[in-house]
Amino acid sequence: MTFKNYKYIILLVDPFNEFNNLVYNFFQTTTSCNAMTCDSQNNAFQILESTPVNMILFHAENEVQGISFFEQIQAYPELQKVMLIDKVLDKKLFFSWMNDGLFNKFLTKPFQDIHLLLMAFESINEHLKNTLDERIKMEEQFVHNEKMSTLGQMMAGIAHELKNPTTFIHSNLNNLKKFVPNLFQLIDRYEQLDLPSEIASEIDQFKEDINYAYLKERVPRMIERTAEGTDRLKKILLDLKLFYRKDAQSFEMADINAAIESSLNIISHEYKDRITINKEFGYLPEVECNITKINQVFVNLLINACHAISDIGEVTICTCEMDDRVQIDISDTGCGMPESVQKQIFQPFYTTKPGTLGSGLGLSISNKVIKAHKGRITVKSQVDKGTTFTIVLPIKQSDIN
């Protein structure tokens, strides 16, 4: 919709041909509206089918006549519905119908042209305001999308550049974890030697100067912590790359139950000795999907479920077939989420996890993946009770429009 082509369309339905000239003269010649008139309900329905009418005026002798028409056009909720009425028989009933929204405005006889015009302008004004609001929102969304897309390209580039240095830092740290204790052991062995007292006291002094006891205790721990940091970094880079990757769409027939099993294996460190995993797998046919991405979704949801359980608890995974779809429910007995959190969880970078624990990308990636499979992901959650994520996937991509 563009403002250049903005047109407000008014349709008068007047079986008595009484207001045709008035409506036509006012709206067609003195305003930028398009006025149309017809003299039967059937014609009106035909026009509504083919024309984006904004306002409809129906001329009725009384409210009973009017309402039978308006009841039939309830399928057009955007339409401003106006009753031009000769005589109201039962005011109470008339206003109760209006309160129920069967029509929006009315004019009773005798009314002057100016009343009609004022009423129409009020509606046009409202319509223009809504149109403008919609337009502003669309523009904001457009600017936001542009920003996100530029940001996304930058992110993918940065993630790619950071991957190599992160990988060698990580592998060097793992080597250091192995080698440094050997060096300390070597020093321990030297300490068992009988050294001349002069040299021994010099070494003792040096050990004191460099705070050797502290180093011996802290260095392995420092390496350990740094390695954890690079683990985390690697994960974020992987998430980022996945999030902004423009993948080739490679769909294949895959076993979803087996995919869940392998996802559970990958993340076993998250739940071992702490969380009971219940697998309630139903029979599933093979599903046409990009199984690498679907695995990523399962991993994200399962890790989230484990994170939500602070101590001990249960994670239950149910799968079943429903007509041309499969459904996967992943439930946990964790902390749950208030509605204010639930509303935001699919947004990129939204996380409630402290420090560097969460990247806030897991669910937005998952949502993107499931949508690309023409599926649906939904959440139900209760604070302190737990959360269930439900995924519905079509079995065959071609069956879904």
Asked if 277 touches ligand ADP (CB under 6 A), the answer is no
Q: How far apart are CA 273 and CA 269, in angstroms?
A: 9
Which of 334, 369, 370, 391 binds ligand ADP (CB under 6 A)? It is 334
Residues 86-115 that bind ligand ADP (CB under 6 A): none
Tokens encoding 157: 């580039």
Cα–Cα distance measured from residue 16 to residue 110, given in angstroms and rounded to the nearest whole number: 16
Applying CB under 6 A, among 15, 181, 229, 360 the residue interacting with ligand ADP is 360
For residue 51, what are its two tokens? 């024309």
Q: Counting contacts by CB under 6 A, is residue 267 touching ligand ADP?
A: no
Copy the structure tokens of residue 225.
């912590």
304 binds Mg ion (CB under 5 A): yes
367 binds, among ligand ADP, Mg ion, none (CB under 5 to 8 A by kind): none
Nearest to 167 by CA among 249, 238, 222: 238
Instruction: Report whether 316 contacts 278 (CB < 8 A).
Output: yes
Select the residue interacting with ligand ADP from 308, 317, 328, 395 (CB under 6 A).
Answer: 308
Q: Residue for token digits 């996802």? A: 263
Residue of 351, 368, 380, 392 that binds ligand ADP (CB under 6 A):
351
Closest CA to 376 of 342, 326, 341: 326
Among 302, 332, 333, 375, binds ligand ADP (CB under 6 A): 332
- Eight-class DSSP state of 105: E
Q: Which is nearer to ligand ADP, 7 or 269 (CB)?
A: 269
Counting contacts by CB under 6 A, is residue 394 touching ligand ADP? Answer: no
- The stretch near ligand ADP (CB under 6 A) out of 17-25, 106-114, 212-220, 327-335 is 327-335
For residues 353 and 334, is the Cβ–Cβ distance under 8 A?
no
Helix 212-244 to helix 362-372 angle (10° resolution) is 30
Please, which residue, 362 or 394, has the CB nearer to Mg ion? 362
The helix (H) or strand (E) run that includes residue 254 is: strand 252-254
Strand partners, 83: 58, 106
Interaction of residue 362 with Mg ion, rule CB under 5 A? yes
Residue 335 interface partner, choices Mg ion, ligand ADP, none, CB cut-off 5-8 Å depending on type: ligand ADP
Tell me the closest approach of the beta carbon of residue 235 to Mg ion, in angstroms. Answer: 10
Per CB under 6 A, residues contacting ligand ADP are 300, 304-305, 308, 332, 334-337, 341, 345, 350-353, 358-364, 387
Residues lying near Mg ion in the complex (CB under 5 A) are found at 304, 362
